[in-house]
Amino acid sequence: MNEWKRLVYVLLILSCILFISLNTYVYYLTIETSSNVTYLKKETKKLNDLKEENKKLLEKKNNIEKDVQKSDEENKKIESEISTLEKEIKDLESKVNSLNKQNSSKTVYFTFDDGPSPRTEEILNILDKYHVKATFFVTNQSDQYNYLIKRMYDEGHTIGLHTYSHNYKEIYASEDAYFNDLKAIQDKVYNITGMRPVLIRFPGGSSNTVSRFNPGIMSRLTKLVEERGFYYYDWNVDSGDAAGYNEEAQMNMIYTYSPKHDVINLLMHDSTYKYATVNSLESKIKYYLDNGYTIAPLDSSSPGMHHMVNN
C-alpha cells in the first residue's frame, strides 16, 4: 500500500509540475501573441494612414492637374486676347500714320479780298494757267464786274462774302446793320451764280480795332455769324499788299512767314490798284508748289485761322 501511495504522490507531483509548466508556457504564449497583435494593429494602422495619405496625395495630384489644365486654357485665352490687342494696336498705328500723313500734307489757301476789279480778271487768268483754285471774299463793286463773279463760280473757285459796302462805320454800327449788309452781298452773288455763299471774312478781320467805336461788336458778331450758319475766316500769313507792299516785299513776307506753317491762309487783295499782288502771283504759286504745298480753295471744313478778337 505504501508503494501505491508513493506512486500516487509522485504522479500527483508530476502532474502538478506538468500543469504549472503548461500554464507558464500558455502564459508566455499569450503574452507573445498579444504583443504580436498589438504590433500588427500598429502596422495596420500605419498602413491605413499611408493609404489615407496616398489618397489625399492622389486627390492633390488630380487637383493640380486640373489647375494646370485650367491655367493652360487661361493661357490660351490670354494669348488670343494678346493677339487681338496686337492686331488692334497695328490698326491704330496705321490709322495714326495715315492721320499724320494727312496732317503733314501742306496746304495753302490763296484768299483775295475787296474785289472784283480789273485785277481779278488778271488773277483768274494766272490761276487758270497753273490750274489752281483760290477763294475770293467779294464786295459790291460795279455791276460791270458781275461776269467775274460768274467766272469765279464757273471755274471752281470759292466765293466768300466780305460785306456789300466794306464801310466800317456802317457795317459795325450794329448787329442788324452788319447782317443786312451781309445779306445784300449774299443776294448779289446768289443772283449771279444761283449759289448762296456762307463763307465770310470780316472787313479788317475778326481782330480789327477799327470797330471799337461800337464796344464789343466783334465779340458779338463772331458768335452770331456762326449761330446763323456762316463760317468766318481770318488768315495766318499776310502778303502785306493791303499796306502797299511791292512784289519783292510781298515775297519776303511769304518767305519769312510760310515756313512756320503747314496750313496757310494767305491774305491778298484783288482791288483795282493791287498790281504788285498780280505781278507777284506766279512767284507765289511757284514758291508754294516747290515747297510741297497744295494750293486749295476754302470750304466749310477748312481751318478758320481765327484771330484773337480785340473788341
Active site residues: 113, 269
Nearer to Zn ion, 104 or 142 (CB): 142
In what helix (H) or strand (E) does residue 108 lie, and over which residues does it extend?
Answer: strand 106-113
Minimum gap (Å) between residue 113 Cβ and Zn ion: 4
Binding pattern for the stretch 42-61 against Zn ion, x by CB under 5 A and - elsewhere:
--------------------
Query: How far apart are the C-alpha atoms of 177 and 248, rounded to whole Å?
Result: 39
Binds Zn ion by CB under 5 A, chosen from 110, 111, 112, 113: 113
Query: How far apart are the C-alpha atoms of 306 and 288, rounded to whole Å?
Result: 22
Residue nearest to Zn ion (CB): 113
Minimum gap (Å) between residue 85 Cβ and Zn ion: 55
Count of CB atoms situated within 10 Å of the CB of 108: 26
Binding pattern for the stretch 178-217 against Zn ion, x by CB under 5 A and - elsewhere:
-------------------------x--------------
Query: How far apart are the C-alpha atoms of 85 and 269, rounded to whole Å?
Result: 54
What residue has cell string 496616398? 54
Query: How far apart are the C-alpha atoms of 53 and 50, rounded to whole Å?
Result: 5
The three cell numbers locating residue 121: 480778271
* Nearest alpha carbon to residue 269 among 132, 162, 156: 162
Minimum gap (Å) between residue 114 Cβ and Zn ion: 4
Query: How far apart are the C-alpha atoms of 183 and 12, rounded to whole Å?
Result: 156
Binds Zn ion by CB under 5 A, chosen from 114, 181, 238, 241: 114
Nearer to Zn ion, 205 or 297 (CB): 205
- The interface with Zn ion within residues 138-157 (CB under 5 A) comprises none
Nearer to Zn ion, 200 or 293 (CB): 200
* Nearest alpha carbon to residue 159 among 233, 63, 95: 233
Nearer to Zn ion, 113 or 270 (CB): 113
Q: Determine the residue type at 224.
A: L
Minimum gap (Å) between residue 166 Cβ and Zn ion: 6
Minimum gap (Å) between residue 203 Cβ and Zn ion: 5
The three cell numbers locating residue 67: 489647375
Contact window for Zn ion (CB under 5 A) among 59-67, 100-108, 110-118, 227-235: 110-118
Beta bridge partner(s), residue 135: 111, 158
Number of residues that bind Zn ion (CB under 5 A): 3
Nearer to Zn ion, 111 or 214 (CB): 111
Residue 234 binds to Zn ion (criterion: CB under 5 A): no
On the CB side of 218, CA atoms within 13 Å amount to: 21
What residue has cell string 515775297? 251
Minimum gap (Å) between residue 201 Cβ and Zn ion: 7
Nearer to Zn ion, 234 or 309 (CB): 234
Beta bridge partner(s), residue 199: 231
Binding residues for Zn ion (CB under 5 A): 113-114, 203
